[in-house]
Amino acid sequence: MKLSHVVDPASASQRVRWESNNENVHVTNGLVNVVAYPGDGVQVSITVTTEDTDAAGNPISVTIPLVITQAEVQTLTVKNGETIVHEGESVTVEAGNDLQLTASVTPPNLTPTYIWTSADPNTATVDATGKVHGVAAGTTSITVQAGNKSQTIPVQVTSTSYPLTVYIKWSNATPYFYWYDAPGETGPKWPGTKMNSVPSCGNDWYSYEIPFGSGKEFSFIVNNNSGNKFGIVVPPNQNEFTGLERSGDKYSSVQAMGNSSAYTINENNGSEIAIGAPSCPASQLGGKKPIAVPQPNLTREGWTRAMNRSNAADSPAQTRMRAVERDASSPQDENSREGEFSVALENGTYTLWEKTAPEGYLINTTRYQFTITDGNVTWTGDATPSIVGAMGWISDKPTQVIWEKEDSTTHTALAGSGWTIEQEITSAEGQVTWKTINDVLDCTEAPCNASVTYKDEDPAPGKFLVKKLPVGKYRISETTVPEGYDRVGGPYEFTVTDSEETVHVTNKPIGNTRKTGNVYWGKVSSEDDTRYLAGSEWQIKYTPYDGGNAITVTITDCVAADGDTTGTCAKEGGKPDWAYDAYTTAGRIGLHNLPWGNYEMVETKAPDGYYADPDAVYGFTVGPDTPEFQNVVIYKKNADGTTGDPIPAPTTPLLNYPNQVISNEPGVILPATGGEGNTQIALFGFALIAISMLGCGVAMRKRI
């Protein structure tokens, strides 16, 4: 909204001061800009105060109250990463993990406050940015409110449990495993389930896989189905096991917390229960051929399994899947090729998921299941890898960071910028430094050179996409500024994680402000170009760079002397901000802060005693190709309207002044009138006087 003012009487100074009482509402030269909604019921006012004073010596102020209403939100969009979550669609997050939701609205220029709430914080919480944290397995919903629009997203929080196996060595027995008192679970009938033999560990080794996995406490008894219970020694000073039913110096019943992938009870080690799988090669059960499992590591009994990548171009050298524990007894990758894994496993059903992604990649959150039967692998479950030969291939997505550039005047994409990426490095002593990672130039034409590490891979002008940055904290700084623009602020900091698919450096495009131009010229006599002439008047036609209606203004040489000023020395109502002479010395005219566009000048009134050429047209341009914004060159136009030569410099240049001058021919003009005049008019006047005098002399002779 544009406010204008007029100070009466007209002879008073038209200069005023504009002020706003609210930090969210800015006013500059009467232009009101609401940068953010001030809030419901907030009183906003604009005050304009004169520079001149009234008869009592006081400035005059006028306060204008403003009624600012918040525009209504038309649409609300929720995204999970780059995927839109439509109304009624649910999202899934693991207990203990995070999921980032984002929201946006239309119209896009609105900046509402997004209010995120959870229906059950005991199941999942959400912060002010939309980050959902899984607390416990179950279902709940997250609601986001933006103005008059809201959306509720069902959330499924899944368990983070992994397989848990109990191993035991019990000679000359056929052991059964009986468990009970597991919250929410129904145990088997006595004596329990017969345990499986583990021949790779030798005779008398047996195992049992807990059906509900880890993460839940339970109690158990190992017996031989003939009334004998195995006596277990519970180690002191630990929190994983508690003895329940004592039998001599041992316990026949033990409570376990379930915080491991494997437990081992070995009668040769005093029957003490321990965390972890047995030291025998339990993972390489005799005769089982190695299997290849794609890309990362997989979890069962604290060991690792691995898989390969599905896209060779994006394949990291290696990656790990989620391993609960790992010790000397764990199976090892037997494949020496980068990104390929082979692990020998016993018969059973396994779940595979990634724990640590390769550098520059996101964790693959998909869970894969497979079954091994006598060395043969069968993939089960809803998600399966791509199988090529005997190898299963799983891909990870690379991390990606995006930002955009725009012209802050037109809000259109702006090409040609370059940026330096720096990574935060913290030393062992805690000292923080920034290490330059790479310089990134805007790619504006496909194909972009993606083979160069950390380069822009988005061919759209003004849009940046950098992939495969490792997890860490970064910042970008503009080092190459588009032609004709001022450098932006910054640096802009951001963080890359292994779970956020796309990192936005800023929530809106980064805008560059156009440079404005300054132009100066001197008004001199054609007979002496060191003599500067006061009082010239100019008509200036401005045509905007981006199109639109031309504007024509008139300014007069501003002269300040003996405490008084004449001419156009300040912005006048209804004229552009630049339309006044910013140089107060006689005959030296300057325009400051000129926006991009074409300018034409015609002298409409010459200094007193000089002739103004009405056919002379001068021009200059301010724009992205302007070579010197602080001293724009003026050209005299040819008769056909084309650009001619630049106006000349004076014979003796002035110090600290841009030297280009426009000269006037002398003429005879009544003082203070200006306008046209020449020597012929003067001679014609003298001729008339001579004729009159001659006539007078003839008359006098006749009288005599």
The reply to whether 400-512 shares the fold of 75-158 is yes
Query: pLDDT tens, 596-639?
Result: 999 999 999 999 999 988 889 999 999 998 888 888 999 999 98
Which tens digits make up the pLDDT trace of 81-124? 888 999 888 898 877 778 999 999 988 877 788 999 999 998 89
Q: What is the mean pLDDT of residues 115-137?
A: 90
pLDDT of 452 strictly over 80: no
Classify residue 692 by its DSSP letter. H
- What would the pLDDT profile of 274-294 be if each residue is shown by its tens digit? 988 887 643 333 222 233 333
313: pLDDT strictly greater than 50: no
User: What is the percentage of the chain residues whose pLDDT exceeds 70?
Assistant: 84
CB–CB of 383/366 below 8 Å? Answer: yes
Looking at residue 558, its pLDDT comes to 94
- At 357 the three-state DSSP class reads coil
Order of strands, sheet of 131-134, starting from the edge strand that comes earlier in the sequence:
83-84, 75-80, 98-106, 131-134, 124-126
Q: Which pairs count as long-range contacts for 188-197, CB under 8 Å and 24+ apart, including other chains?
A: 191/223, 191/225, 192/221, 192/223, 194/225, 195/168, 195/222
Helix (H, G, I), strand (E, B) or coil at 371: strand
Q: What CATH fold (topology level) applies to the domain 75-158?
A: Immunoglobulin-like (2.60.40)
Cα dihedral 591, 596, 602, 608, rounded to 10, equals 0
The residue-averaged pLDDT of 464-474 equals 93
pLDDT attached to residue 673: 43
The pLDDT value recorded for residue 435 is: 93
pLDDT above 70 for 306: no
551 falls in which pLDDT band (50, 70, 90)?
very high
Judged by DSSP in three states, 154 sits in strand
Helix, strand and coil percent figures for the chain, each rounded to 5: 5, 40, 55
pLDDT at 47: 94
Confidence band, pLDDT 50/70/90 cuts, at residue 272: very high
| pLDDT score of 337 | 65
For the cut 90, the answer to whether the pLDDT of residue 651 exceeds it is no
Residues facing 692 on adjacent strands: none
Neighbours of 103 (CB within 10 A): 21
3-state secondary structure 298-316: CCECCECCCCECCCHHHCC
Domain 164-275 has CATH 2.60.40.10: yes
Q: How confident is the model at residue 594 (pLDDT cuts 50, 70, 90)?
A: very high
Quick one: fold of 517-666?
Answer: Immunoglobulin-like (2.60.40)
520-531 pLDDT, tens digit per residue, is: 999 999 888 888
**b/e sequence 409-443, b meaning 16+ C-beta within 10 Å:** eeeebbebbebbbbbeeeeeeeeeebeebeebebb
Q: Which residue has the tokens 């005047």?
A: 409
Q: Which fold has domain 400-512?
A: Immunoglobulin-like (2.60.40)
pLDDT of residue 351: 85
Output the pLDDT for position 625: 87
Q: Where are the domains of the chain?
A: 16-66, 75-158, 164-275, 400-512, 517-666
Residue 694 DSSP SS3: helix
Task: Identify the band that residue 701 occupies on the pLDDT scale cut at 50, 70 and 90.
Answer: very low
Q: What pLDDT is stored for residue 166 in this prediction?
A: 94
- Predicted pLDDT of residue 336: 62
Question: In the prediction, which pLDDT does 693 show?
Answer: 57
pLDDT at 26 over 70: yes
